[in-house]
Structure 1
């Protein structure tokens, strides 16, 4: 496979209503999926181009490689909506020290739907003419289940780690740290992994339902989105579980919104994101600068409430969505603050490589547009079926270890239920009454 093949790309529109459940059009064992509310893109067929990246410059090197690849491409796009034309699916490791590869992938066939427009994209790398005709999805295969067990961090180790982080905060080394733990399961190799995506998409339609190179989940958090030159990002910091009864649920939401601790954490996360993006802020028109919502709003998901703020603006000239991804990652909501000290502490305290958990996952188009989420509420599923799920929570000076562990339990619940029982309880551990920050 050439490092930079000359790709030929053809996108055609389909009759509205042709596509049903998009996730069914993905590969049964290596799905490429990025959907929300039933819209998005799904890749299948032969992998025409795949590049791996490592280290501190992994996102920048990916952006450079993508620029070179697209410069050789011939693209004819009759749909002209986000996700049509030439698209690369991507997933990046959380840490620059990770042994897990960050990837960009171009498949030979992509189907998608956006704003009521349905399309199919065919891509070739051997100079032949692409055949942009719709293929029927492969029949659904075996729907096997897996039982999760304790990973490398058990409840005692987690408590010790939380207490240690609280001591570091008390000494002034950190202000906040997001501490994660893991669960391990083994999914039979012959399992059709589309079942997992379908269950998550059905229960969490407002989340980003993603699957790239085995990284699979349903994330509530948009890292950044670029359409044309319009930039949007969403910051989540401050979390509480949903209540089973309406009046309890309403009270929990109001407590979250009025919590000084969570408001402070949220303000910091927003300020951190704006500061990270300021390095790209070369606007000459003040109206183009990036701005955030004046006050956070409550975002309701099936199992949790979040405090959320939207950032909007215009993409600086000569930049792409990956430049914004590079500037934003890792956000304070999944790393901590100060950033450098937090990342060093995560590498030192967590007994595992996070791999691509809490890293960027999404797609980039030929013109530099794209959509990227933070890979939360998900797992790394290896080719042999080994499945590692992760969840974390923001540790601050007043954190209590037992509450922090319980927070990770209900964050792990959606994926755990989807894989082990197939019957997702969207409320998870609804008896939890504390509030969390970060993932």
Structure 2
């Protein structure tokens, strides 16, 4: 299905409804001063309605309002979104006085994990469409920071009321106080925690039988809050506690992902691959953490899982890069709740335009090429995805799908929607939390359940009052 841009002007007399093109966008970016320091300074600017965010260590972009929404679905959702975004840019009128990554026109995006079949027996056509959808949102207001430079961008359809960007306009933005969720209770999701190890055991048996080498299985937990869940409450707590992660909010998906699917910036491509995990117990001393990190770095099971994930990323990126650097060995990434084996794969983008009709591939195109990596699906990809559909028993929706932003020059950052939760459209007190684990032949079902519990901890904690 092709993208559906909004808003569009009313059709002219005699013109069939639905044939009018959307109005061109008018974009203005100016530098602003006086933005406070701190990991939550950008997030503190957000209103409570559909906040958009991509922030790490206080840098990044946030946005609100909708100048344009581009909806896609199915196997072509990435290509359709890319095409619609390029068409939007071709008609935009842009004045950018800052010219840094994230200035000028930007679109926040989120995409479903799966692309087409596998769920037809369980959902109606409308429900299925939501489970394989993609969305790009162009905000009316974007505020960003990169180092010592902060900026504000306003985006509006031509003919709409112009609001000059700047500190004065920012000060006039209406914000309601952030509210806590009150008492929160947690219940099993699609598969009960006590039943999930059996699924892991079945996957191990299938791997040992030679059907595949690795599969990533996920589970969900449903949180019910006393009061409506304010996404800003989750975002600020996550940004404070998980500063090494990318804190995000797009299309109802909120989280703090440690895994950067791809960053494309001025010709340099980077992907942070995580696979192989050990739990960090509460109150663990630094010395004990170092011992656990050394144990993780020597674990043959975790090293095997990590190798599959790195290889899948390298294979996907090599078609878009003129040169690449793939580390020989991973490092250990320390987070408050877990430690991961991590590798930063880098490359020089092929700018010849060979792969994209005369244009170099955008960050969105790179994200599409990388998804799903072995870190969230398995190896081989097709066999792993089929096994997920067969035995996981859960609708992943946008969990483990790409989430991030793309700019007018194609640069941008896309993470994987991990350590995340999906806010309900129907009941603002309900939230689905997700966690997944990489399963290989040496996996122990009980240990994988414990690992999934550790990965659920960030969102459980974020829901605290």
Q: TM-score, normalised by structure 2?
A: 0.85
Match of 2:99 among 59, 70, 80: 80
Residue 203, structure 1, aligned to residue 241, structure 2: yes
Give the corresponding residue for 1:257.
297
Q: Say what the alpha-carbon RMSD is for the aligned residues.
A: 1.7
The equivalent of 2:265 in structure 1 is 227
Does residue 143 of structure 2 align to residue 143 of structure 1?
Answer: no
Gap runs ≥5 in structure 1: 284-288, 423-439
Q: Is the 8 A contact 1:10 1:130 kept in 2?
A: no
Q: Name 1:307's counterpart in structure 2.
A: 341
What residue ranges of structure 2 are gaps of 5+ in the alignment?
1-6, 9-20, 117-127, 352-358
Which residue of 2 is the match for residue 175 of structure 1? 213
Residue of 29, 32, 45 corresponding to 1:14: 32
Q: Distance in 2 between matches of 1:202 and 1:354?
A: 27
Cα distance in 1 for partners of 2:228, 2:340 equals 37
Q: Is the 8 A contact 2:337 2:457 kept in 1?
A: no
In the alignment, the residues of structure 1 paired with residue 61 and residue 188 of structure 2 have an alpha-carbon distance, to the nearest angstrom, of 34
Describe how 1:80-159 pairs up with structure 2 within 5 A: 80-97=99-116, 99-100=130-131, 101-128=133-160, 129-133=162-166, 134-136=169-171, 138-145=175-182, 146-159=184-197
* Pairwise CA distance, 1:189: 6.8
How many residues in Structure 1 have an aligned counterpart in Structure 2? Answer: 414
Counterpart of 2:369 in structure 1 is 327
Distance 1:60 1:188, change over 3 A: farther
Q: Which residue of 1 is the match for residue 43 of structure 2?
A: 23
Deviation string 1:192-236 (CA, Å, 9 cap, x unpaired) is: 321111111110111010000110001000000011211111111
CA distance in 1, matches of 2:337, 2:369: 30
Contact 1:6 1:127 in 2 (8 A): no
Which runs of structure 2 are paired with 1:274-293 in the superposition (5 Å)? 274-281=314-321, 283=322, 289-293=323-327
In the alignment, the residues of structure 1 paired with residue 228 and residue 220 of structure 2 have an alpha-carbon distance, to the nearest angstrom, of 24
Contact 2:259 2:416 in 1 (8 A): yes
- Using structure 1 for the length normalisation, give the TM-score: 0.90
Cα-to-partner distance string for 1:219-265 (whole Å, 9 max, x where unaligned):
00000001121111111111112251222211100011122222222
Match of residue 268 from structure 1? 308
Note the C-alpha offset of 1:187. Answer: 4.1
Matched, 1:411 2:452: no
Task: Tell me if structure 2 keeps the 8 A contact 1:5–1:69.
Answer: no
Alignment of 1:41 onto 2:61 = yes
- Confirm or deny: 8 A CA contact 1:7 1:127 kept in the other structure: no
